[in-house]
Amino acid sequence: MEVTIALAGNPNSGKTTLFNELTGARQHVGNYPGVTVEKKQGRYRRNGSNLIIVDLPGTYSLTAYSMEEIVARNFLVSEKPSAVINIIDASNLERNLYLTIQFLEMGVPVCLALNMIDVARHRGIDIDAGALSECLGIPAVPTVARNGKGKAELIQAVVQMVQSKNSSTTIRISYGEDIDRTLDKMEYIVRKNHFLTDQYLPRWVALKFIENDEQIIALGRQHNAQTATLLEKMVHQLAVHIDKTLDSFPEAIIADYRYGYIKSILKEGIVRHYGDRNRLFISDKIDKIVINRFAGPLIMLAVLFGLYHFTFTYSEAPVRWLEQSFGLLGDLAGTYLPQGLLKSLILAGILDGLGGVLGFIPLIMFMFFGISLLEDSGYLARVAFMLDRIFRVFGLHGSSVMPFIVSGGIAGGCAVPGVMATRTLKSPRERLATLLTVPFMNCGAKLPVFALLIAAFFIHYKATMMFSITLISWTGALMVAKLLRITVIKGAATPFVMELPPYRMPTFKGLAIHTWERTWQYIRKAGTIILGVSIILWALMTFPTLPASRIQAFESQRQTLRSAAETKVTAQLATNKQAASLSEAAMILSRQLLKVDNQEAEAMLKHSIAGRLGTAMETFSRWAGFDWRTNIALIGGFAAKEVIVSTLGTAYSLGEVDPEQIGSLAQTLANSAYWSPLSAFSLIIFVMFYSPCFVATVCIVRETGAIKWGAFAMIFNTVLAFTLAVAVFQVGRLIGF
């Protein structure tokens, strides 16, 4: 006899390895009709059995979310293979059985291959295949596809299953009272109307309607529009009811119950952990509190607050030392370099620019150390797990949490890897929504801007400010995600279950490596992109230079002051005044001269390309409290956000506002007449939300495959940021800040 056997399983469960092991060289590779999914077929001929084996595409589920899932499902329905070998990664039983359950619900005859049993053993997991087989009512054979172990037994079990006629086992999972009630009614209607029942089980059809399965719904409408409409109406009522009572949607509830079913099976002594058991046990105990519905969020907020407190408190001294060293370097260069453009380039372009960025290395290092600690210990996975509930409300996904954290959700990430991390999201809509909102997180480049402004204006509320900034950026990102999901990226959410790895004690070496990797990334960026942009901006802020006549005017102003002072001193000498008033006169003169120097520097900056641009923008940037120097810095920020600090540094060192206040940039800003805590806060809000930096934008275009989304991110974010900043500034002024 000749029978067809399909190989199915999650990606990386060892399907291809087993396929090769079974069929050897007798393979045929083609495509499934009409799609680019590869179809591999081969033969197994031994001991009188003659099997055709088909390697189905790897899938996690049998919904209609991806091409692979649809192809696998259609094959099972249209080709009706005699049996399915469901290969599961035994070291990851819970997740892999999710697919198995769906085969059983579909009513296809399944034989389990408990593959990678060697890996499972290695991890201290012992699986009772007999008990599992009994629980599910299907054969289960342990295998090691890589060396062919268990292959013969597997084939034997499959052949036996095919030969015994009552081979298909169907399971009926309870999905809770609400869904069950509707499901039963729908099953009855489907059965009565012979609605798609020549190909599918009635209950399965009903279930797919509830799961919002686009393919089956379309098929149903074609087949019998009236029944389809009736079913869809019932599903709609159910969805409304579930939304009201459980604040969720049917697909999510169904996924929950499926996992619940698997958990209940696995509890029957099928899986035993040895060796590491204690660790898992302790992990579960800790999680009872840490991810508790009430205590969990409070603990999470406390941990974040602690992280910020730790970072700012301990990095204070090193940041000061570094700033002082850069100041010293600047003094040296100022003293020994000849007057001219080169001096200006080195002082204002390179030292002030890079110094502003590199000065924050200690802070960044402490922050990264803290985050590495959270990540390596396993706590970060808990944060993602807890935020999953919140994320669903906003039309995002549990898997969106990681991209957000990578982008700087806690502080100090980068949107570039964040955008790329969205690849793990299955649903294209949720992926797009995540990808467009991760740039709102506080990446490592915005951090120095915030740190600078906090140091200048909120020195007594450092941790509180950082904490609020984080909350604001998350709130903003989630609101925008929701807005996108109800307007331009409409569509249903994907059910999702998160895994919680056991807690582990981080090693110091591991922490040091992670901290260094991230810090080095920051330094390297400062040394390349930031340096380049700093120099370009310096040029924009220097050229065109003032016309000779105006320089001459300042020079003659100085000359006038000097000769006036001279005349005065001569007059005093003539009247035999005390020596003390001589030094006083010298001081007055030097102060007057400095004032002229500064007026000249300011005139030069205003005359430059960047200065003109910044001044032109001041007309409307004033609504948000930004002066023309800030505008210059913000333009630089389009290239890279680090540049904001370095440009402010350059802008304020080119034209020191008050000669009395030559000190750190934070001091300069704090003493500047243009600045107030309110305008600083408005700037924080603007920097948080405005256009992603150049590299991140390129990344968005690449990942979405559409220039329009890159343009959207730049324009939409900037408009949003400006609106928010203006609102903050104007409301703040109204209520008297």
**Where on the chain is the footprint of ligand GDP (CB under 6 A)?**
9, 11-17, 58, 115-116, 118-119, 144-146
Residue 49 binds which entry of Mg ion, ligand GDP, none, CB below 5-8 Å type-dependent: none
The residue (of 16 and 468) whose beta carbon lies closer to Mg ion is: 16
Give residue for tokens 């370099």.
337
- Minimum distance between the CB of residue 147 and ligand GDP, rounded to whole angstroms? 7
* Helix (H/G/I), strand (E/B), else coil: 438: helix
Residues 6+ apart with CB under 8 A from 609: 540, 541, 543, 544
Nearer to ligand GDP, 56 or 104 (CB): 56
Is the CA virtual torsion 204, 209, 214, 219 positive or negative? positive
Tell whether residue 41 is a contact of Mg ion (CB under 5 A): no
Selection from Mg ion, ligand GDP, none that 639 binds (CB < 5 to 8 A by kind) is: none
Do residues 90 and 140 make contact, with C-beta atoms less than 8 angstroms apart? Answer: no
Cβ neighbour number for residue 165 with a 10 Å cutoff = 6
Please give the residue whose beta carbon sits closest to ligand GDP in the complex.
14
Tell me whether the omega of the peptide bond preceding residue 547 falls within 30 degrees of 0, making it cis: no
b/e string for 269-286 if b means 16 or more Cβ within 10 A?
Answer: ebbeeeeeeeeeeebeee
| Dihedral pair phi/psi, residue 339, rounded to 5° | -55, 145
Question: Quick one: 147 or 667, whose CB is closer to Mg ion?
Answer: 147
Phi, psi of 91 (to 5 degrees): -80, -5
Characterize 564-597 residue by residue with b for buried, 16 or more Cβ atoms within 10 angstroms of its Cβ, and e for exposed.
ebeeebeeeeeeeeeeeeeeebeeebeebbeeee
Q: Is 468 in the site for Mg ion (CB under 5 A)?
A: no
* 3-state SS, one letter per residue, for 27-50: EEEEECCCCCCEEEEEEEEECCEE
Instruction: Phi first, then psi: give them for residue 85, nearest 5 degrees.
Output: -90, 115
**Rounded to the nearest whole angstrom, what is the least distance from the CB of residue 9 to ligand GDP in the complex?**
6
**How far apart, in whole angstroms, are the C-alpha atoms of residue 533 and residue 645?**
12
Give least dist CB 85 to Mg ion, A: 14
235-238 long-range contacts, CB within 8 A, separation 24+: 235/182, 235/186, 235/209, 235/210, 237/182, 238/178, 238/179, 238/182, 238/210
Please say which residue, 62 or 347, places its beta carbon nearer to ligand GDP.
Answer: 62
In the complex, minimum distance from the CB of residue 425 to Mg ion, in angstroms, rounded to a whole number: 22
Q: Which is nearer to Mg ion, 19 or 103 (CB)?
A: 19
Stretch that binds Mg ion, among 11-19, 323-331, 698-706, 719-727 (CB under 5 A): 11-19
Could you tell me which stretch among 12-20, 118-126, 556-564, 631-639 binds Mg ion (CB under 5 A)?
12-20
User: What residues form DSSP beta bridges with 50?
Assistant: 2, 45
Binding segment for Mg ion among 8-16, 74-82, 276-284, 412-420 (CB under 5 A)? Answer: 8-16
Q: Can residue 16 be called a binding residue for Mg ion (CB under 5 A)?
A: yes
Q: Which two tokens stand for residue 556?
A: 């003659």
Of 685, 682, 669, 676, which Cα lies nearest the Cα of 731?
682
CB 132 within 8 A of CB 110: no
Question: CB of 73: closest distance to Mg ion in angstroms?
Answer: 18
With contact defined as beta carbons under 8 Å apart, do 111 and 139 qualify?
A: yes
Burial class (CB in 10 A: 0-12, 13-18, 19+), 321: exposed
d(CA 406, CA 213): 32
- Cα 352 to its chain centre, rounded Å, is 31
Report the nearest approach of ligand GDP to the CB of residue 122 (Å).
8
Q: Which is nearer to ligand GDP, 144 or 435 (CB)?
A: 144
Phi-psi region of 45 (alpha: psi -120 to 50; beta: other; left: phi over 0): beta
Residue closer to ligand GDP by CB (options 17, 344) is 17
Task: Choose between 16 and 521: whose C-beta lies nearer to Mg ion.
Answer: 16
- Residue 646 touches which member of ligand GDP, Mg ion, none, C-beta under 5-8 Å by kind: none
Instruction: Tell the smallest beta-carbon distance from residue 414 to ligand GDP (Å).
Output: 30
Largest alpha-carbon pair distance within the chain?
129
Choose between 59 and 311: whose C-beta lies nearer to Mg ion.
59
CB 175 within 8 A of CB 253: yes
**Among the listed residues 412, 194, 463, the one whose alpha carbon sits nearest the alpha carbon of residue 305:** 463
User: Which of these segments, 13-21, 128-136, 152-160, 690-698, binds Mg ion (CB under 5 A)?
Assistant: 13-21
Q: Which does 182 bind (CB under 5 to 8 A by kind): Mg ion, ligand GDP, none?
A: none
For residue 126, what is the enclosing H or E element? strand 125-127
Rank residues 19 and 538 by Cβ distance to ligand GDP and give the closer one: 19
**Closest CB to Mg ion belongs to which residue?**
16
Binding to Mg ion by CB under 5 A, coded x per residue (else -) over 287-306, reads --------------------
- Which of Mg ion, ligand GDP, none interacts with 63 (beta carbon under 5 to 8 A by kind)? none
User: Strand pairing of 27-31 and 2-9?
Assistant: unpaired
Rounded to a whole number of angstroms, the minimum distance from the CB of residue 16 to Mg ion is: 3
Least distance in angstroms from the C-beta of 14 to ligand GDP:
3
| Cβ closest to ligand GDP, residue 151 vs residue 641 | 151
Span of 15-23, 32-40, 412-420, 729-737 interacting with Mg ion by CB under 5 A: 15-23
- Rounded least distance, CB 50 to Mg ion, Å: 24
Residue 134: which H helix or E strand, with range? helix 129-136
Q: How far is the CB of 103 from ligand GDP (least distance, A)?
A: 16
Which one, 118 or 232, has the nearer CB to ligand GDP?
118
Pick the closer one to ligand GDP by CB: 58 or 355: 58
Q: Which does 144 bind (CB under 5 to 8 A by kind): ligand GDP, Mg ion, none?
A: ligand GDP
309 binds, among ligand GDP, Mg ion, none (CB under 5 to 8 A by kind): none
| Partner whose binding site includes residue 407, from Mg ion, ligand GDP, none (CB under 5 to 8 Å by kind) | none
Nearer to ligand GDP, 17 or 227 (CB): 17
In angstroms, give the least distance from the CB of 46 to ligand GDP.
20
7 vs 365, beta carbon nearer Mg ion:
7
Select the binding partner of residue 14 from ligand GDP, Mg ion, none (C-beta < 5 to 8 A, by kind).
ligand GDP
Q: How many CB atoms lie within 10 A of CB 440?
A: 30
9 binding partner (options ligand GDP, Mg ion, none; Cβ < 5 to 8 Å by kind): ligand GDP
566 token code pair: 């001279």
Least distance CB 154 / ligand GDP (angstroms): 12
CB of 426 to ligand GDP, least distance (A): 16
DSSP 203-249: HHHHHHHHTT-HHHHHHHHHH-HHHHHHHHHHHHHHHHHHHHHHSS-
Residues that bind Mg ion (CB under 5 A): 16
